[in-house]
Amino acid sequence: MNAFEYLNVLISIILGLAIAKILTGLATVITARERVDFYWPPVVWAIWIFFVSAQHWWAAWGLQFTKEWTFLDFSLLLLVPVDLFLLSALVLPEREEDGKLDLGEWFARNRVWFFGIMFFLPGLSIVEELVRSGHMSSLLNFAFLLAFEAVIVVAFFLKSRKAQEWLCVQAAVMTLLYIVLLFVNLDTTR
C-alpha cells in the first residue's frame, strides 16, 4: 500500500458517511412524504452535496502521483470531506419533528450555519492545492472556485426564498459545468 492509498482510506470513510447521511435524509423525505411541507432547495442542495462528495473522491485520483506527503497536506485534504459531512448533517432533517417535516423551516433555521460551513469549501480546495503543489494546476478550476465562493457569500446574506431558489439553481448549474469541463475523465496517464 502506498501513501496515497493509505491516506485515501480515511478520506473515503468520511465522504462515505456524508453520502450516507444525504441518502438517509432523502429517504426520510420520501418515506414521510405525506407529512412533508415540501421546499425544494434543501433537496437540491442535498443532491449537490452528494455530487460534490463524489467529485471530490473522483478528483482525488490525481493525488496518487504526489510523491511526498506532509501532515499539513493530509489535514487540508481531509478538511473538505469533513466540511461536506457537516453540510450533509445540516441540509435535511433526519427525522420528523412533531409528526411532520417542514423543509422550508428546517432550511431557514440552518441557512446561516449551512452557508457558513459551505463558505470554507472553495477556500480549502484552493489552499490545499497551493500547499501541496505550490500552484493552482488550472486557472479554470480557480475561477470556478472563486465563483462558487461568491454564490455562497450571497446565499449566506440573502434570506428571501426567491433568492435562495435562484442561488440553488445557479450553484447546481455551475457544478454541472465544473464537473463537465474539469472532471469528466479520470487522468490515468501520469
Question: Which pLDDT score is estimated for 185?
Answer: 78
- Considering Cα of 176, then 178, then 181, then 186, what sign does the dihedral take? negative
Average pLDDT over the chain, rounded to whole? 92
Question: In sequence order, what are the beta bridge partners of 36?
Answer: 101
State mean pLDDT over 155-174: 96
Question: Which pLDDT score is estimated for 190?
Answer: 57
Query: What percentage of the chain exceeds 90 in pLDDT?
Result: 74
Q: Which three-class secondary structure state does DSSP give residue 14?
A: helix
| Range scoring the smallest mean pLDDT among 31-35, 99-103, 146-150, 183-187 | 183-187
Instruction: Give pTM, 2 decimals.
Output: 0.92
Q: CB-hemisphere CA count at 13 Å for 75?
A: 4
With beta carbons less than 8 A apart as the criterion, state whether 187 and 61 touch.
yes
pLDDT digits (tens, 9 = 90+) for 98-142: 778 899 999 999 999 999 999 999 999 999 999 988 999 899 999
Q: Compare 93 and 45 and report the one with higher pLDDT.
A: 45
Q: Is the pLDDT of residue 38 over 60?
A: yes
Residue from 153, 155, 162, 165 nearest 120 by CA: 153
pLDDT digits (tens, 9 = 90+) for 56-80: 998 888 888 888 889 999 999 999 9
Question: Which pLDDT score is estimated for 96?
Answer: 67
